[in-house]
Structure formats: C-alpha cells, structure tokens
Amino acid sequence: MSTNLLRLGTRSSELARWQTDHVAILLRFAYPELMTESVIISTKGDQVLDTPLPLVGGKGLFTAELEAALRSGVIDLAVHSLKDLPTEE
C-alpha cells in the first residue's frame, strides 16, 4: 500500500458518496501527491428498511460500522453527515 493513499470510509447513499468525493477533491487539491480511495461500508441504518429507525437505535445506526472500520485500520478517515452523528440535545 502506498503511504500517499488515504482510504475514506463512506456509506453507499448518493449523498454520502457525493460528500466523500467532495472531501477527496479538496484533499487532493491541498495535497497534490495524495491519492484517495473511497471505501463503501454498509451500516445497520442502511440495512434495516422495515422498521422505523428510532425503534432500532436512532442516529448512531449510520456511524457505528464506519467508526469500527476506522478503529481497525480498514479506513483512514470517515466522512459523516452531521445529521447522522449522535449528539446531545
């Protein structure tokens, strides 16, 4: 693996992929020697389609698998939408 390769974890939704591509473009503009790779990661929130999300577990459903991939070294960076992150109210 090249040391100039940055693996960006993302969900498979069109919005998530667009956001990740946008982040990758900005990073490559700032660091022209950098190569990026998008790694699609399926989350529980993407898989559970027949139950209202609050009944399954709420906002963390879209981030847990990405965070696990980050901790385990599968990806180097995770791109999230703030709306998907657990926050205090």
Domain ranges of the chain: 5-80
CATH number (3.40.190.10, 3.40.50.720, 1.10.3720.10, 3.40.640.10) of 5-80 reads 3.40.190.10
At residue 79, what is the residue type?
A: V
Predicted structure pTM score: 0.77
Q: Which two tokens stand for residue 36?
A: 């990026």
Q: What does the pLDDT average to over 44-55?
A: 62
Task: Choose the catalytic residue: 21, 50, 76, 84.
Answer: 84
Q: What does the pLDDT average to over 41-54?
A: 67
Q: What does the pLDDT average to over 54-76?
A: 81
Cα R_g (the chain), whole angstroms: 14
Active site residue 84: yes
Cα separation of the two ends of the chain: 41
Q: What per-residue confidence (pLDDT) applies to 85?
A: 66
How many degrees, rounded to 5, is the angle at CA 18 between CA 32 and CA 46?
Answer: 130
Q: What per-residue confidence (pLDDT) applies to 63?
A: 79
